[in-house]
Chains A and B, each alone.
Chain A
Amino acid sequence: MTADRFIAMTMLFEKYARLLDEDRLEEWTDLFVEGCLYEIVSRENVRQNLPLSLMLCDSKDMLRDRISALREANIFNIHVDCHVIGPVHVAPSDAGWDVSSAYALYQSTQEGETRLFSVGRYHAHVVEHDGALRFARQRVVVDTGAILTLLATPI
């Protein structure tokens, strides 16, 4: 793997985190291809080989529906997200790259109280689409399977 590729993946993950943290969720969905898979699963289920997710969008349309539900319908704890993403591991695979990294996600309230909301690992499959890197798959394996309060905004 070239250093350029590593930097490109790091920049993709940086953008992913920044768009989420800045509540630019609609732009965040644009980082995915149409037939994408976005999934949040608990380590507890993964370890037991159980298929249930916490959140499962198997197309970009479902991802967009998630975001429009957050915008239009759902009521959830008012908070700001802060994603801290570790160094990426990149391996070529199936006309793309498998990219993984650890993350920590902090949530802060309006009054400035911060809690560690979730830690875990991203397991992405990234492809080149129209000259840009896009997520074909993003599988978030959460170690923090006991979701604090609720899980509204994507990890």
Chain B
Amino acid sequence: MSATQEALRRYHFPASDGSRIPYGMYRDAEIYALEQERIFRGPVWNYLALECEMPAPGDFRVIAVGDTPVIVNRARDGAIHAMVNRCAHRGSIVQRQIYGNARGHICCYHQWSYDLTGRLVSVPFRRGVKGVGGLPADFDMGCHGLQTLRVSVLNGVIFGSFSEDAVPLQEFLDVPFVAQLKRIFHKQPVVLGYQRQRIFGNWKLYTDNLRDPNHGGLLHMFQITFGIARLSGRGGATMDREHKHNMSWAAQGSRPEDDAPAESQEGYSDTGRGDMDIRLRDPSMLRYHKEYPDDLSLTIASIFPNCAFQQIGNTLAVRQFRTKSADEFEIFSTYFGYADDDDAMRRHRLRKANLAGPAGLVSMEDGEAVELVHRAIVRDGQEHSVVEFGGRGAISDQENLVTDVPMRGFWIHYCKLMGIETGEPRP
């Protein structure tokens, strides 16, 4: 058993329903190393980029899958390719720009040159000089390309996989998430810009957070304070059949006074939060201009393991989680609108983006919450997080927001991929 494999034995999951998570899973560098192999390079599809970011042949973006740098580009035949940004020669970064257009990718170290499919096409002085030096005569260029990823595209959203064992993308996503991607990419998107947030905590504290609708109305008090939404509003959590993905959702027209006048304030009586009916001077950015056939005004679709597709009203974005170590990750967010947006809609999306991201009025707290947990769990790796909102045992879709059941779904799937044996089933 390898040392890394041995790391798994350090922590015990006492319950098979994911309701107890050992703190060490968030802090252990060897667990992190194993995740790169079994989660990010495991039988999953990682979000890579959007097709609209690379419209022309040669257009590329350098992204990351877990902590592996990856080039995503469009080849001459129009197909999207993804390959590890690491020279097959000495392991150098090949493409140093983070975006651009290139005929191929040339390593600056010894000028090894790769085409847009990752194939090694030229090596300077391969035959040496006047028959002296150079590579051996039997050196096979065909065996020294960039490591490639499988690529699959759904409605212009590019996913990649390192694993031959990953089931086809749509099967992996499952019906609700295929539907959600088709919903927000139902027409040509246009990138409005990027945001990056560097959080000094473990990446899974963030994916947990995305699967915990319960914190929304308790930590993120902007909408509560300004009377926009409450936990008692209409919403829920939808999962795939393996419960590894989660879509937290809320429906418009669900102001608490419409739905549950008595309970809307009641649950907050113990929170010590003050006046919850302050008005904004300029509430215009909060308006939701309905643009889908349904009444969902908030959807956060978190796809296992590395992304979330966000619709906060009319603010649309995809967040890619780029891990740096057990103790640090980046959220790389790509905000978009649609090609047929008029000026007013484009402006509205840009103003409403104030709600999301590292400075988001509704979202900034996540960075703080993740770091608060990460700092406090530095010791006592055997101790556990408690995940019981919405109940224990079997996992099912949730029709309310006072739940963190989807978090258990994530961990059950995570343990399966990592090869972790969990404890007894619970009632």
Which residues of A are at the interface with B, using a C-beta cutoff of 8 A?
A: 40, 42, 44-45, 48, 50-59, 61-62, 64-66, 68-69, 72-77, 145-152
The 0/1 profile, CB within 8 Å of A marked 1, for residues 351-367 of chain B is: 10110011101001111
Tell me whether B193 and A74 are in contact (CB under 8 A). no
Q: Would you list the 4 A-B pairs with minimal beta carbon distance, nearest first?
A: A52-B193, A150-B367, A50-B193, A151-B359
With A56-B353, A61-B282, A150-B358 already in contact, 15 other A-B pairs whose C-beta atoms are closer than 8 Å: A42-B193, A45-B194, A48-B99, A51-B192, A52-B192, A52-B335, A54-B195, A62-B282, A62-B354, A72-B221, A74-B222, A76-B364, A147-B359, A148-B198, A151-B358
Which residues of B are at the interface with A, using a C-beta cutoff of 8 A?
A: 99, 191-200, 219, 221-222, 224-226, 274-275, 278, 280-282, 285, 330, 335, 346, 350-351, 353-354, 357-359, 361, 364-369, 371
Give Cα A30 to B278, complex, Å. Answer: 21
CB distance from A119 to the nearest CB of B (A): 15
Tell me whether B193 and A45 are in contact (CB under 8 A). yes
Tell me whether B222 and A73 are in contact (CB under 8 A). yes
Give Cα A150 to B219, complex, Å. Answer: 15
Contacts of A56 in B (CB 8 A): 350-351, 353-354
CB distance from A108 to the nearest CB of B (A): 16
Give Cα A56 to B202, complex, Å. Answer: 29
B357 CB contact (under 8 Å) in A54, A61, A66, A77? A54
Given contacts A61-B282, A62-B282, whether A146 and B351 have CB atoms under 8 Å apart is no
A152 CB contact (under 8 Å) in B226, B285, B335, B359? B359
Give Cα A149 to B367, complex, Å. Answer: 5
Given contacts A42-B195, A77-B371, A151-B358, whether A146 and B330 have CB atoms under 8 Å apart is yes
Contacts of A52 in B (CB 8 A): 192-195, 335, 350, 353
| Candidate in B192, B221, B226, B361 with the most chain A CB atoms within 10 angstroms | B361
Contacts of B224 in A (CB 8 A): 73
Contacts of B192 in A (CB 8 A): 50-52
CB distance from B313 to the nearest CB of A (A): 15
Tell me whether B191 and A50 are in contact (CB under 8 A). yes
CB distance from B373 to the nearest CB of A (A): 13
Interface residues of B, dominant DSSP? mixed
Tell me whether B219 and A54 are in contact (CB under 8 A). no
Q: Which residue of B lies closest to A65 (CB)?
A: B280
Tell me whether A149 and B281 are in contact (CB under 8 A). no
Contacts of B369 in A (CB 8 A): 75
CB distance from A94 to the nearest CB of B (A): 22
Tell me whether A55 and B359 are in contact (CB under 8 A). yes
Give Cα A40 to B371, complex, Å. Answer: 24
Give Cα A42 to B330, complex, Å. Answer: 15
Given contacts A53-B353, A61-B282, A146-B330, whether A75 and B365 have CB atoms under 8 Å apart is yes
Q: Which residue of A lies closest to B283 (CB)?
A: A65
| Candidate in B194, B200, B274 with the most chain A CB atoms within 10 angstroms | B194
CB distance from B65 to the nearest CB of A (A): 18
Given contacts A58-B351, A61-B281, A64-B281, whether A74 and B196 have CB atoms under 8 Å apart is no
Give Cα A142 to B424, complex, Å. Answer: 51
Contacts of B99 in A (CB 8 A): 48
B198 CB contact (under 8 Å) in A53, A61, A147, A152? A147
Give Cα A58 to B352, complex, Å. Answer: 12
